[in-house]
Amino acid sequence: MISLSISLRLTVWFSAILLVGLGLFGISMWFDLDRTLTAGRSQTLLRRADRLGQLLADDGYDGAERPSKKLQEFASATGGGLIEVFRADGTLAYPSPSTAATGFPWPAVKNLRHEDFSELNFAGQPYRVLALPFVSGSHSLVLCLAAPLSNNRQLLQTFSAGLLWTIPLLLILSASGGYLLSTKALKPVDQITTAVRLMSVSNLSERLPVPKTGDELQRLTETCNLMLGRLQSAVEEIKRFTADASHELRNPLSFVRTSAELALRNQHADPGSRHAFEQIVEECGNANRLLSDMLTLARADVGSANLAFETVDLAEIISDVCEKARWLVKARHQTLEVSLDSASTAPVLGDYPSLRRLLWIIMENAIKYTRAGGTIHLSLRAAGHNATLRIEDNGIGIKESDLPHIFQRFYRADQSRSLVDGFGLGLAIAKWIAEVHKAEISVQSQEDVGSAFTVVFPVSAGCPDELTVA
C-alpha cells in the first residue's frame, strides 16, 4: 500500500468531495436554467397569442378566406411569421400569413379544447409550438404560434461548456490551495520530526521549540519535551553512576596494589607468594587502566571532560609520541617511518594531553597489530584549512565486517585480537577526542595487508610561537 502524507491525503479527499459537489451543482443548475428558459418562451408565445386574439376580435372573423392586412403585418413583425389560424376542423381559417408558416409542420389541432404546448424539430432546428382554442363570434378557431428554441439551446450549451471549463480549473485551484494550506498547517509536525530525529544521547538536554498556538501541536511538542526530560534524567543518572563507580573503585584498587607492593618489599617472602603479589600488582594495573578509560568516556558523556583548549602544534605532539613509541617499535623489531615536514607547523586549537593521547592510542594500535619486521608509517600533511595525520601499518589489518564497529566501546574484533592487551576502549576514546577537536577520524583497512588511520584536523588561524631545530 502506498502511504501518502497527511496533506496529500487531505487534498485528495477534499478534491473528490469538491468534484461531486460541483458536478451536482452544475447538473441542477443546467436543468433549472432549461426550465426557466422554456417557461420564458411559453410566456412569450401566450402573450403573442393574446395579441393575435385581440387582433382577430377587432377584425371579427367573417369566414373570408383572405387574411386581413393587420394579421399579415402582425405575423411579419413577430416570431418570424410563424403564425397560423385554423378552424376547429383543422383547416386553415386564413391563407398562411407568411412563407415560413406555409411549410411549417403544424401539429394537428382538430377538436382541440385546451391550450397545448409542444416541441418539434423543423429543418434541424427545435421549436416550441402553442395551439390555443379561440372563439370569434360564432366561429371556433385555433391559434397556432411557434418560436425557435435555438437561442435557448445555445445558452444551455454555453453554460455547460462553461461548467466543463471552470470545474477542472476550480478543482486545480482549490486542490493546490488546499495542499498548500494543509502543508503549512502540518509544517510544525515536520519540524518536530526533524528536531526529534536529531536528538541523541549527547544532546538530550535540548528541547523542542514549543509553538504558542494552544492547539494539538503545542500539546504534542510539550508531551515530547516531557518525555525528553524523563529520558535525560535517566541517562544522566546512568552516566553519573558510571563516573562515580569508576572513581570510587580507585581507592580500594589503590589499597590492594600498595599492599601487594609493600609485601613485595619484604626480602624474606617465599617465591610462591612473590609471584602471587606480582600478579596482583599487574592485574591492579590493568584494572586501573580500564577504570581510567571508563572514567574518561563517562566524563566525555556528561560533558565534564575539562579540556583546556589552546593553540598546539601537531608536529610537536608527533615528535613527542614518536619518541615514546621508538623503544616499543624497536623491541618488536618493527620500523617507524615519519614523514614530517620539519619546517612546517600544523597549529590546531586543542587540548595537548588529549591530542597526545589520541595519537598514542592510534600509534599503540598500529604497533600491536603489526608483526615483527613490519613497518609503521606516520605522516602529517597540511593543506589549506586542514592538517591530515595518517598512520599506516602493514599489519594484520581489520576484517571488512569489523570495520564499522571498531570505534564502538568494548568492541573486540575477534578471539585472536583479544589475546592482545587492552579493553577495546582505546579507539572509542580516540574517536571522542577527535570529535571534541572537530576533527574527523577514519580508517581504511584490508586483512593481511594493513590498516591506515586518518585524522583530519581543522587548522587554527593563530600561529604559535615556535622555534624549530634543524
Partner 1 sequence: MQILVAEDRPQTADLLRRAFESEGYFVLVACDGDRAVTLGKSKPIDVILLDIMLPRLDGFGVIRKLREAKRRMPILILSARDAMSDIVYGLELGADDYVTKPFELSILMARVRALTRRASAEYPEDLRFEDLILKPSSYELQRGARVASLTRTENALLELLMRRAGAVVSRSALIEEGWGPDSEVSEANLYVFMRSLRTKITQPGERELVHTIRGVGYSLRSATH
Residues that bind partner 1 (CB under 8 A): 247, 250-251, 253-255, 257-259, 261-262, 265, 284, 288, 292, 295, 299, 304, 306-308, 310, 313, 315-316, 319-320, 323-324, 352-353, 356-357, 464-469
Helix (H) or strand (E) run with residue 338 in it: strand 335-340
Q: How far is the CB of 203 from partner 1 (least distance, A)?
A: 23
| Choice between 221 and 246, CB closer to partner 1 | 246
Alpha-helix residue ranges (DSSP H) falling in 119-270 = 150-198, 216-264
Q: Give the whole-angstrom CA distance, residue 364 versus residue 378.
A: 12
Q: How far is the CB of 295 from partner 1 (least distance, A)?
A: 8
Q: Torsions phi, psi of 341, nearest 5?
A: -70, 110
Torsion of CA 388, 392, 397, 403, to 10 degrees: 0
Q: How far is the CB of 324 from partner 1 (least distance, A)?
A: 7
| Choice between 19 and 249, CB closer to partner 1 | 249
Q: How far is the CB of 345 from partner 1 (least distance, A)?
A: 8
Q: How far is the CB of 423 from partner 1 (least distance, A)?
A: 17
| Choice between 277 and 407, CB closer to partner 1 | 277
Whole-angstrom CA distances from 112 to 99, 134, 195, 326 are 25, 10, 86, 130
| Choice between 125 and 266, CB closer to partner 1 | 266
Q: How far is the CB of 380 from partner 1 (least distance, A)?
A: 12
Q: How far is the CB of 285 from partner 1 (least distance, A)?
A: 8
| Choice between 207 and 324, CB closer to partner 1 | 324
Spell out a b/e string for 145-184, using b for 16 or more CB atoms within 10 Å of the CB, else e: bbbbbeebeeebeebeeebeeebeeebeebbeebbeebbe
In the Cβ-directed half-sphere of 132, how many Cα atoms lie within 13 Å? 21
Q: How far is the CB of 389 from partner 1 (least distance, A)?
A: 15
The C-alpha cell that represents 467 in the structure block: 622555534
| Choice between 33 and 322, CB closer to partner 1 | 322
| Choice between 324 and 405, CB closer to partner 1 | 324
Whole-angstrom CA distances from 461 to 347, 440, 464 are 8, 18, 10
Q: Give the whole-angstrom CA distance, residue 134 versus residue 356.
A: 122
414 by DSSP, 3-state: which?
coil
Q: How far is the CB of 332 from partner 1 (least distance, A)?
A: 21
* Residues written for the chain: 470
| Choice between 21 and 353, CB closer to partner 1 | 353
CB 172 within 8 A of CB 19: no
| Choice between 141 and 314, CB closer to partner 1 | 314
Whole-angstrom CA distances from 108 to 43, 89, 91, 144 are 22, 10, 10, 10
